[in-house]
Chains A and B, each alone.
Chain A
């Protein structure tokens, strides 16, 4: 197996080295990546989309289909994980239900250190503020839907680790959970049909100057949906893997 792997790796490496030998050097301002459609996005992106962070502009407006299906992919991943039997099995009822000392879910678990508990609880609001700021100011600073989804998701996972499974599950309101998980694909579908009605193109964004506010509203809806939906999906993936098997 080792020999086969080494031979395979060497063959792949040789092929890829031949491949990169034919590539233009990176960093060259006249390279194809900077002269084709990328140059157009840089030149007219702000005027056409109203988003100053061009990564967000490309992500949501120019390459909206890509992002739509990407959101569908992470939703499908969550569905796949939840479809496995251990995720749906009911966890055994916790003994004693003590709320004073936070404990990890299972019975023989080590209690969380009070120092770690305190610091995570102290830092969580700051992390949440950072995530919301990167969402709110995502058009003029680095940040946006996916970034704040990742940050909020990581924060919820940290809280889930110190508070234990039962408490962490309450972070996502139970009744709205199904809708929140599907928020990304749903919002994309709705915006896509709105764009279709307005422009005649699926997931089209109105380009004329008069529709400026509408276009921005569409982008904001997508950003918020990606952030909330993505964060909920990340937290749910964590909880599904954390469930006792």
Chain B
């Protein structure tokens, strides 16, 4: 059961990371990066690291996303081809 959870979460991590890399729309990339951080936070909670999980949930998914979105609002929204 635990191995299945781990495998699903790791595949989800890789899928979200690849989506971040492929997204042309920067807002979509940042939102997917927030999802990536939250999945990572679940993995860490599952691996006995609740302290790290709390910090990652607040910083990785919250603060970092907001900082990215502020910068995107000031610059360009989509990656130029």
Contact = CB atoms under 8 A, between A and B. Distances in A.
**Complex: A in contact with B (CB within 8 Å):** yes
Query: How many A residues touch the partner, as a band?
Result: 20 to 34
Contacts of A56: 51
Contact of B67 (A134, A144, A146, A241): A241
B11 interface: no
Interface in A40-73: 53, 55-56
Contacts of B58: 147, 150-151, 153-154
Contact of B63 (A143, A144, A157, A242): A157
Contacts of B51: 53, 55-56, 142-144, 146-147
B15 interface: no
Query: How many B residues touch the partner, as a band?
Result: 10 to 19
Contacts of B70: 238, 241-242
Contacts of A76: none
Contacts of A161: 66
Interface of A: 53, 55-56, 134, 142-144, 146-147, 150-151, 153-154, 157-158, 161, 234, 237-238, 241-242, 245
